[in-house]
Amino acid sequence: MKLNPQQQAAVDYLGGPLLVLAGAGSGKTGVITQKIKHLITKVGYPAHQIAAITFTNKAAKEMQERVAKMLPKAQTRGLTICTFHSLGMRILREEAAHIGYKKNFSILDATDSAKIISELIGGSGKEAVFKAQHQISLWKNDLQTPEQALINAQNDWEHQTAQAYASYQATLESYQAVDFDDLIRLPALLLADNSEVRNKWQQRLRYLLVDECQDTNTCQFTLMKLLTGAEGMFTAVGDDDQSIYAWRGANMENLRKMQQDYPQMKIIKLEQNYRSTARILKIANKVIENNPKLFQKTLWSQFGMGEIVKVVACQNEQHEAEWVVSQIVKQKLVGGDKTQYADFAILYRGNHQARTFEEALRSARVPYRLSGGQSFFDKAEIKDVLSYIRLIANPSDDPAFLRAITTPKRGIGEATLGKLNAYAHGQECSLYEAAQSEEALAQLNTANRSHLQAFMQMMEGYRARAESDEAGDVINDLLDEIGYEAHLLANEEGKAGEIKWRNVSDLTAWLARKGEEDGKTLLEIAQTIALMTLLEGKDEEETDAVKLSTLHASKGLEYPYVFLVGCEEGILPHSDSVEEGNVEEERRLMYVGITRAKRQLTLTHCIKRKRMGSWQFPEPSRFIDEMPPEDIKILGRKGGDPVVSKEEGRSNLASLRSMLAAKKS
């Protein structure tokens, strides 16, 4: 990779803390990976003293692959490239004793956490549970303890939620479990309170590279500062114009705080864009300049002006979807083998907008991929199997115990579990320990006691095997013994059971490969399984398909052809954001959407749209008015050019279908 002068300066600088303001498409990942190479080969840092921290597993994987191509394996041994959550888990595993945890603590996912919170607030419905769960997450990300949240509560709901937060945290501690927020919160608190542990990790990780620093929340920013110390040997890369995650606790003000905390910090701007045409960047710059700036920068490109940007007014949402799909089909046919379906993206503000586009794509027989679909690890059958693996890793994991012992059914019902739970609560022990207690077993009838003892004997056998036997053998034998395939086939209609069993087979095959490649036992794999999303997105990467995505999920991606749809007041900007005074973040969302496009950008809005069963007539987005008029062409509005001519409108769909049929034959 040939670096421009600004990129090279960012790679070379080691005089202290460095903030790299990396505009969209400016090659920030290349800068980070080149700096890793520079630190190892030119400066002499041992790889195990360098950590690059990202926000997603996908970004970490991309960095790992780039570094692997640049340096031999021997030079990168011990190099850390991971997410904030993975680094936090690594610290917690090693330092668990300092916070009263065992090394093999459990990690609860969002579903497990929701179950606990639901019980604490009295099962008030999914929406109430989600709202409480989200608020507790925000408190944790802001490093507020339950006691502080209670003091700061502004109303009765916050007061009740703060009380639930305290009980929730006590429950996690009794389960020897943490949630995802704790993976960063607990290490931050530990390093802040324990100078010995803090010094140990500062010596171990002597140089940090932090990606997307504008998206850090208070907790992540605090952990970063604690790891880098007063010297601040770090390179932080970010873009205040792409800060779009305030709703999950991200605080763009951290960029300002960074300047205050490190007055000696150097700032380097990356403004040359290697993705988009000059016209697309001109429009993006004009829109985002309406936001107040932490740092001034202007993106530019050497790719020429490029095509004019179309702004298309559609009659309604069905017309919008059909028109967009017709344009994709037409361009795909014209482009031939040089144009792939994967070159096209349809981006929208909210998931609810996807349905009409899915229908139109299906009707036109165009393959597509929906971003933000259900995670592989969120599938019920995968969670069933993982509950056994979690229980093998941590017998104190009560949620895993409850799921495993009741799936498949084995004659152990609510009455038995109720008695076990009452005993465990009274003795302050786990359900697993209760199930091994003669006193607790004595409270059960003969049949229930026999079923429970059989389950416990089986689990003890597999726990012993998990420490030494091949991971694939252990899990396959376990699934055979519990009859999980038969359970799926018996409880699912049609081919659903077969599909679910194939998913389980994919999981077990992956576990087996993981054991063989890394030389790890099932017990070792199980201790990190909650963070694994390796199987997610596998099919997506291998399939030629149009991408349907929210603007939030599109960040970091790029496409030759982008359709930014639903550009209306009430959608983009969202009505809630307008009411709450958060238009600036909505403008950053528009900026992110515009800068995903490489060659061609089209914006659409509807003249009328049906909401709650009645027609509404939304105004075009205010952000369209902020675009330079000489660089956009408005179609379909009163006084503007028609979307299509009458003749084209009558024959368009028929001709496209005939062309597609001829191409297939």
416 labelled catalytic: no
Is 131 within any annotated ligand binding site? no
- In the 8-state DSSP scheme, what is residue 224? H
Q: Taking a C-beta distance cutoff of 8 angstroms, is the pair 431, 420 a contact?
A: yes
Is 132 within any annotated ligand binding site? no
Give CA angle at 161 (352, 257), nearest 5°. Answer: 80
Alpha carbons 437 and 458: distance in angstroms, whole number: 16
Alpha carbons 458 and 290: distance in angstroms, whole number: 64
Residue (of 267, 221, 208) closest to 52 by Cα position:
208
Q: Kindly name the residue from 179, 182, 212, 397 that is annotated as catalytic.
A: 212
Is 602 within any annotated ligand binding site? no
Residues β-bridged to residue 564: 347, 603
The pair of three-digit structure tokens given for residue 609, joined into one six-digit string = 């749209």
Is 188 within any annotated ligand binding site? no
Is 275 within any annotated ligand binding site? yes
Residue (of 297, 352, 406) closest to 6 by Cα position:
297
Q: Kindly name the residue from 6, 29, 76, 202 that is annotated as catalytic.
A: 29
Residue 219: in which H helix or E strand, if any? helix 218-228
302 labelled catalytic: no
Q: Taking a C-beta distance cutoff of 8 angstroms, is the pair 86, 211 a contact?
A: no
Taking CA atoms, 587 is separated from 250, 270, 574, in Å, by 16, 21, 10
Residue (of 590, 597, 589, 603) closest to 637 by Cα position:
603
Q: Kindly name the residue from 596, 598, 609, 622 that is annotated as catalytic.
A: 596
Residue (of 240, 231, 238, 241) closest to 261 by Cα position:
231
481 labelled catalytic: no
> CA gyration radius for the chain?
27
Is 23 within any annotated ligand binding site? yes
Is 27 within any annotated ligand binding site? yes
Q: b/e for 429-447, b at 16 or more Cβ within 10 A? A: bbbbbbbbeeebbeebeee
Alpha carbons 521 and 515: distance in angstroms, whole number: 6
Alpha carbons 7 and 400: distance in angstroms, whole number: 48
Amino acid identity of residue 254, one-letter, is: N
SS3 221: helix
Is 24 within any annotated ligand binding site? yes
Residues β-bridged to residue 270: 22
29 labelled catalytic: yes
SS3 177: strand
Is 33 within any annotated ligand binding site? no
Residue (of 535, 508, 534, 515) closest to 384 by Cα position:
508
Phi, psi dihedrals of residue 105, rounded to the nearest 5°: -60, 160
Give CA angle at 403 (398, 408), nearest 5°. Answer: 145
Residues β-bridged to residue 179: 108
Helix, strand, coil percentages (3-state) for the chain, rounded to 5, are 60, 15, 30
The residue assigned the tokens 């089909």 is 329
211 labelled catalytic: yes
Largest Cα span, the chain: 85
Kind of pairing, strands 344-348 and 177-179? Answer: unpaired
Q: Kindly name the residue from 109, 211, 320, 398 that is annotated as catalytic.
A: 211
Q: Taking a C-beta distance cutoff of 8 angstroms, is the pair 520, 471 a contact?
A: yes
- In the 8-state DSSP scheme, what is residue 570? B
- In the 8-state DSSP scheme, what is residue 628? -
650 labelled catalytic: no
Residue ranges for the known binding site are 22-29, 275
Known catalytic residues are 28-29, 211-212, 242, 596
Residue ranges for the known binding site for ATP are 22-29, 275
